[in-house]
């Protein structure tokens, strides 16, 4: 098996954001090792990938949620023939559905990402560690309550 390249990791980062923005549950889960650890933008501690999948599906992948991101320059450090780190800035926009049914809008104009990718035995890349953060505090803004169209009760 050939050693991994910087270009391959940049492609994987783009796959990550495409899966997130299109709300592809299976595509998103396939990007992570089941044993990965994740620090979310608003997380105070790390969580296992399996817990993160459930939370992100509930909050970000519902029909009333939306995700958008613009990724800056991706810097890749190849650490070995099967291991690399990607670090990059991003702008993240999301409308999240909360467990109580309400929705909030969140803008993260100065996001930072560090993702560690490992090439598995099948030849697929998986994220084994992820740390997303914001250079500035982020405050969710409540979305107005949805109103039923006129004539509907």
d(CA 72, CA 121): 30
Six token digits for residue 23: 């709300």
Q: What is the pLDDT of residues 95-146, one digit of tens each?
A: 987 778 888 999 999 999 999 999 998 999 999 999 999 999 888 899 876 5
In this prediction, residue 6 has a pLDDT band, given cuts at 50, 70 and 90, of very high
Residue positions counted in the chain: 153
Q: Label residue 151 by pLDDT band (50, 70, 90).
A: very low
Give pLDDT, residue 84.
Answer: 98
pLDDT in tens, 40-97: 887 788 999 989 988 888 888 888 889 999 999 999 999 999 999 999 999 999 998 7
Q: Which residue has the tokens 């559905």?
A: 97
Place of tokens 């405050």: 139
Spatial CB neighbours of 6, under 8 Å, sequence gap ≥ 6: 76, 78, 84
Domains of the chain: 6-137 (3.10.450.50)
Which pLDDT score, from 0 to 100, does residue 79 have?
A: 96
């Amino acid at each position: 098996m050939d050693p991994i390249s910087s270009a391959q990791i940049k492609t994987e980062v783009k796959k990550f954001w495409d899966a997130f923005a299109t709300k592809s549950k299976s595509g998103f889960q396939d990007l992570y090792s089941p044993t990965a650890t994740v620090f979310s933008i608003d997380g105070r501690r790390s969580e296992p990938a399996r817990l993160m999948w459930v939370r992100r599906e509930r909050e970000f992948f519902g029909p009333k949620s939306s995700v958008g991101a613009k990724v800056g320059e991706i810097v890749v450090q190849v650490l070995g023939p099967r291991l690399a780190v990607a670090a990059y800035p991003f702008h993240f926009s999301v409308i999240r559905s909360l467990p109580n049914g309400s929705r909030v809008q969140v803008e993260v104009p100065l996001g930072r990402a560090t993702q560690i990718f490992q090439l598995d035995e099948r030849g697929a890349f998986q994220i084994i560690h992820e740390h997303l953060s914001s250079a500035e505090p982020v405050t969710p803004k409540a979305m107005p309550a949805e109103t039923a169209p006129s004539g509907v009760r």
